[in-house]
Amino acid sequence: MTKALDDQHAGTSTERILSTALDLFAIKGYDATAVREICEAAGITKPTLYHFFGSKDGVLQALVQSGFQQYRALVKAAIDTPGTFRQRVKVLARSVFESASRTPRFWRFMHSVIWAPPGTAPSQAESCTEFYDGVVGALAAAAEEAVARGEIAAGPIEARMLIVMGSISEAATGYVIAGKPELTPELADQIVDTIFDGWQ
């Protein structure tokens, strides 16, 4: 094989492993899923999984980091969108809703990671803390700039960002768990407008 074909084969194998592991982790749970099951369902050998990820925990970490990277990308894209801070938060809410609607199983898996007791599988407490601080910090910085521009009244920035993220996340969580509310762009806008109108 040429290097290009090697790289393509590696990419296909790793993607298949991650996709299969995600399905099994979301359905059965991390602890109840064996490496053998992942390999059989993905159509690969154990040495192949160990070559790319080292262990089942390596697969877990790759999935978790992928989830965090995707969410950070949503936040960055929203913050970088031209417009007011309110408009940017609407972009974020719509993006989160679209992601949760499109990939509920992935969101369910990420919730199992976030809420796992520290020190137990599949907990990734340190990564979760770093992710949380980064997201809230990025939004807080954007909110402070909005206050400086006179877009929103001065107020407790961290508390406001917790309200924003909590409201968006609660709606997404409800959908993932119970299939409701329907995560429409209109609902995203209504949530954001309700919050921002209270800051006037």
pLDDT for 54 equals 96
| Domains of the chain: residue spans and CATH | 1-54 (1.10.10.60), 63-197 (1.10.357.10)
Query: Residue 64 above 60 pLDDT?
Result: yes
Residues recorded for the chain = 200
SS3 120: coil
pLDDT for 189 equals 98
pLDDT for 116 equals 79
Lowest mean pLDDT among 43-52, 128-137, 187-196: 128-137
Q: How far apart are CA 171 and CA 184, in angstroms?
A: 10
Q: How far apart are CA 166 and CA 115, in angstroms?
A: 15
The verdict on whether omega for the bond into residue 117 sits within 30 degrees of 0, i.e. cis, is no
Question: Residues 103-106: contacts with CB within 8 Å, 24+ apart?
Answer: 104/175, 104/176, 105/22, 105/23, 105/26, 106/22, 106/26, 106/67
Mean pLDDT within 33-45: 96
Q: How far apart are CA 166 and CA 158, in angstroms?
A: 12
* Confidence band, pLDDT 50/70/90 cuts, at residue 127: confident
Instruction: Give percent of the chain with pLDDT exceeding 70.
Output: 93
Greater model confidence, 79 or 116: 79
pLDDT for 132 equals 87
